[in-house]
Structure 1
Amino acid sequence: MTRPARDDRGQAAVEYAGVLALLLFVALAAIQLGLVAYTAQQAGTASRAAARVASQKGGADRYVESGKAAMSDWLADEAVISEAPGGSFDEVKVTVRVKVPALLPVFDFGDATRSTTMRCD
């Protein structure tokens, strides 16, 4: 009695490779979402620190440095910190824009932007 010939050799390896690629993509997507949240948090921290310094007397020229110092170095290099016009004379509004890093070219979340308004001392 002989067994019939089967052509499904290697099927498990092919299925494993397909599932592994899918799991890798899902893991990278989860890490990317974490990077988006972290970048937004860092932009908020920088805007609060920069607005705090800009609201003090003599701090108008040091707010950019203090905002970048409050961030992680690898995000601070790409950060754009500016004082937004339109506030009243006793307030200062600082806006921070940080590019969200992308792990894969598929992911492009643009910039994380946060603004903080503080009363001047």
Structure 2
Amino acid sequence: MFDPLIRLRTEDLLELQQVHLYSELDSDPLNPEAKAGTVCGYTEWASANRKPALSFSWDWVYDPGTQRLQAQWSSLRTNLRVVDAQGEDLGVECTRLCVARLMTRASWERVIAESLDLVLTMPPDSRH
């Protein structure tokens, strides 16, 4: 049976360097969490220091009123699965949380905003 997932321990995942590949506005958003006046989009990232590469893609919402991007981590698409020290699968939710932490360290909001010319209001210490 073919298994496309790459398995990593949490500590190995958090050592990855991510590269922003692209971000786009969604021309026909179907995001149920989006309020009127918000802008929806998606983004794709990859690991820069690992072969084979890991990919990370998710949807996000930009609210012009608050000038913030909000990740929709439930939409995460990745070829990664986080495992414990014995190689046991820690599940989809754990993988989402670990990727969210990794991407926060990569300042994903700022990078996407710059690539799409969105104005952001960033909270203090948003990169930690």
TM-score, length-scaled by structure 2: 0.35
Bigger proportion of residues as helix: 1
* Bigger radius of gyration: 1
